[in-house]
Chain A
Amino acid sequence: MSLLKSREALLALAILVLIGVVAARFPAFVRPGNLANVFNDTSPLIILAIGQMIVILTKCIDLSVAANLALCGMVAALMNGAGVPLAVILPGVIVLGGALGAVNGVLVWKLGIPSIVVTLGTMTIFRGSIFLMTGGQWVNAHQMSEAFKALPRTVLLGLPVMSWMAIALIALFGVVLTRTALGRAFYAVGGNPHAAVYAGINVGRTQFAAFVISGALAGLAGYLWVARYAVAYVDIASGFELDVVAACVIGGVAIAGGAGTITGAVLGALFLGVIKNALPVVGISPFWQMAISGAAIVLAVAFNATQSRASGRIILKSAEAR
Chain B
Amino acid sequence: MGMWKKALTTAAMATVLMAQTAAAEDVKIALVVKALGIGFFEAAAKGAEEAAAELGDVEIIYTGPTSTTAEGQIEVINALIAQGVDAIAISANDPDAVAPALQRAMERGIKVISWDSGVAKEGRLMHLNPSSSALIGNTIIKLAADHIEGTGDVAILSATSTSTNQNIWIEEAKKVLPNYPNVNLVATVYGDDLADKSYREAQGLMATYPNLKAIIAPTTVGILAASQAVTDAGKIGEINVTGLGLPSEMAGAVESGATISFAIWNPIDLGYAATMLSYNLIKGAEAAPGASIPMGRIGAATLDDNLEAAMSDPFTYDKSNIEEFKSIF
Binding site for B on A (CB under 8 A): 26, 28-29, 34, 37, 41, 127-128, 131, 134-138, 140-143, 153, 225, 229-231, 233-238, 276-277, 279-281, 283, 286-287
Contact = CB atoms under 8 A, between A and B. Distances in A.
A151 to B, nearest CB: 14
Interface string B28-66: 000000011111001000000000000000000000001
B323 to A, nearest CB: 11
A237 B228 CA distance: 16
Given A138-B249, A142-B251, A280-B205, 12 more contacts: A28-B207, A37-B203, A127-B66, A128-B66, A131-B37, A134-B37, A136-B36, A143-B252, A235-B67, A237-B196, A277-B200, A280-B189
- Nearest 6 pairs of A and B residues by beta carbon: A280-B204, A136-B37, A142-B252, A141-B252, A286-B190, A229-B195
Nearest to B37: A136
Interface of B: 35-39, 42, 66-67, 161, 187, 189-190, 194-197, 199-201, 203-205, 207-208, 224-225, 227-228, 232, 248-253, 255-256
A240 to B, nearest CB: 8
Nearest to A285: B161
Most buried by A among B67, B204, B205, B255: B204
Contacts, number: 88
B188 to A, nearest CB: 8
Contact of A229 (B67, B196, B249): B196
A41 B228 CA distance: 14
A28 B195 CA distance: 24
A306 B37 CA distance: 45
Most buried by B among A135, A236, A277, A281: A281
B67 A238 contact: yes
Contacts of A234: 37, 66
Nearest to A37: B203
Contacts of A225: 196
Nearest to B228: A230
B37 A286 contact: no
A231 B228 contact: yes
Nearest to B36: A136
A140 B251 contact: yes
B183 to A, nearest CB: 20
Most buried by B among A26, A237, A280, A287: A280
Contacts of A140: 224, 248-252
A138 B201 CA distance: 22
A286 B161 contact: yes
A266 to B, nearest CB: 19
Given A140-B224, A142-B255, A287-B161, A281 B37 contact: no
Contacts of B249: 138, 140, 231
Nearest to A29: B207
Contacts of B253: 141
8 contacts: A34-B207, A37-B203, A128-B66, A140-B251, A140-B252, A141-B256, A231-B224, A276-B197
